Every structure is written in C-alpha cells, then in structure tokens.
C-alpha cells in the first residue's frame, strides 16, 4: 500500500476530495513446468469501460492516449513487425469518440525498444496509458501500468444478446461500441517474432510480472 500511495501522491493532490475509486492489480507467474524448458507468457486484462450508463454507446467519450506509437497489422490482423506513429492520433492530445469513428483495435507502445523490456515489469514506474472522460456524467477513468504496451479497442464487434437472470430479471443486450477496452500488455504476437521474444519467453524458474492501476473519479 505504501508504494501505491507514493505512485498516486501527486494525482491525489490534484483531485483532492474527488478521488472515488482505485484498483491496483498485480500479476506474476513462475514457470515450473516439466519437461518443457520454456513457456511464452502473455496476460491482457480484458475489461470493458463505459462512463455514461444512460447512453447505449461510448459516443462522446473524450480519450487521451499516452502514446501514438503502435504496431501496424497485416491483412490477417497480425503485426507486420514495424513500429510506427498512428497517423490520426497525437500523444497526450484528447480526441472524441463518435458514433462509428475512430474505429480502433490496435496495440499501442509505451516502450518502442523491445530489447529493453524485462520479463517482470513490476519494479518499473507506473505510466499513464490512457485517460477517459465523459462530459455528460463528469466521470473520469485513468489507466496506468508498468507494461510496455496496451490494446485500445472501441468495441466495434461487441454483440451480447439480452439475458435473463435466474430470478427472471432482464439484462439488456450490448451492441457495437457499447464499451471500450484499455488492456495493458506486452507486444501483440511477441512470442512469434524473434526480436520480441525476450519480453514474454520464460525459462524454468524465471518470473513474469506486471502491475496496473485503474483510477476513477467524478468532478
């Protein structure tokens, strides 16, 4: 808890009494499997966020990403191996999500130097991956992590039918752009590229780790 308070001392001062919720997630794993000598490890918390419960979509949400460096994809959706700036996004510059655009499902990089990324990122400082704000609810969400990358997805393919609970209550279905994802991670397909394997390939006895923090508040 001390480390958490230190990480957010400046943020807490800025928010004063507005800080309402914080989640600190720590992941780690040790590879012991036999007879294998190595294992590829990738972990992406797949949470959907929507800051306006009165709206069916994320339209109007203001997004600020901590980087515009990303992994371009080939026609099959696999990273090509190049690292480039995303053409229509500027780092730390807010943009507003519309009814259908921008349509994003991309891996953005906080660290574009793969050889410098350790298996265990927990000792590294937290960095802000994304900040979300909805003007109609005055709700904010900030995602921080020690991870070198994150997937940002605006929910084009969400298709969840209406459900009925055991006690007969109806739960509304969810359609395209009814939520968005900010998923701290390693590079997509890092196990499939020799120059990226070092960030995910565990040898017997090695430790993989990551740390992420989610902060939500209302003005």
C-alpha to C-alpha distance for 23 and 170, rounded to whole angstroms: 29
Closest CA to 200 of 120, 111, 108, 124: 120
Q: Are strands 139-145 and 95-96 parallel, antiparallel or unpaired?
A: unpaired
Whether 139 and 215 have beta carbons less than 8 Å apart is answered as no
How do residues 107-138 score in pLDDT, each as one tens digit? 999 999 999 999 999 999 999 999 999 999 99
Residue 57: helix, strand or coil by DSSP? coil
Return averaged pLDDT per consecutive 10 residues of the chain, 219 residues in all: 34 49 74 56 79 95 98 96 97 98 98 96 96 96 96 97 93 94 96 94 88 91
Render 123-175 in DSSP notation, one character per residue: TSPPEEEEEEEETTTTEEEEEEESSSEEEEE--TT--B--EE-TTS-EE--B-
CB 140 within 8 A of CB 218: yes
Please choose, from the candidates 42, 6, 49, the residue with its C-alpha nearest in 3D space to the C-alpha of residue 24: 6
**In the prediction, which pLDDT does 65 show?**
98
Residue 6 vs residues 24, 131, 150: alpha-carbon distances, Å: 13, 20, 23
In this prediction, residue 117 carries a pLDDT of 97
For the segment(s) 2-218, the CATH number from 3.30.70.100, 2.30.180.10, 2.70.70.10, 2.70.98.10 is: 2.70.98.10
- The per-residue pLDDT for 41 is 63
SS3 of 85, please? Answer: strand
Write down the pLDDT at residue 170.
93
- Among 143, 129, 124, 127, which residue's Cα sits nearest to residue 24? 143
Place of tokens 């190049």: 82
* CA-CA-CA-CA dihedral for 27, 158, 128, 88, to nearest 10: 140
What pTM was computed for the model? 0.86
Q: Residue 38 has what pLDDT?
A: 61
Q: Considering only the C-alpha atoms of the chain, give the largest distance between any 2 of them, rounded to a whole number of Å.
A: 56
Tell me the two tokens of residue 51.
Answer: 């800051």
Pairing of strands 19-30, 180-185: unpaired
Q: 167 — alpha (psi -120 to 50), left (phi > 0) or beta?
A: alpha
pLDDT at 2: 28
b/e string for 15-24 if b means 16 or more Cβ within 10 A?
beeebeeeeb
């Amino acid at each position: 808890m001390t480390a958490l308070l230190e990480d957010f001392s400046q943020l807490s001062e800025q928010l004063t009494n507005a800080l309402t919720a914080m989640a600190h997630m720590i992941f780690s794993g040790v590879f012991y499997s036999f007879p294998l000598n190595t294992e590829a490890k990738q972990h992406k918390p797949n949470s959907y966020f929507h800051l306006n419960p009165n709206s069916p979509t994320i339209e109007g949400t203001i997004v600020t990403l901590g980087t515009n460096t990303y992994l371009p994809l080939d026609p099959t959706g696999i990273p090509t191996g190049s690292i480039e700036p995303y053409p229509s996004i500027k780092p730390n510059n807010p943009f507003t999500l519309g009814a259908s655009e921008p349509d994003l499902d991309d891996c953005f990089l906080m660290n574009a130097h793969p050889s410098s990324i350790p298996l265990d990122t927990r000792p590294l400082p937290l960095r802000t991956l994304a900040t979300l704000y909805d003007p109609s609810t005055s709700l904010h969400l900030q995602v921080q992590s020690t991870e070198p990358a994150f997937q940002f997805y605006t929910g084009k393919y969400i298709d969840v039918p209406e459900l009925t609970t055991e006690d007969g209550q109806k739960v509304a279905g969810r359609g395209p752009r009814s939520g968005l994802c900010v998923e701290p991670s390693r590079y997509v397909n890092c196990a499939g590229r020799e120059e990226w394997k070092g960030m995910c390939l565990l040898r017997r006895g090695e430790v993989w780790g990551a740390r992420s923090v989610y902060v939500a508040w209302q003005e």
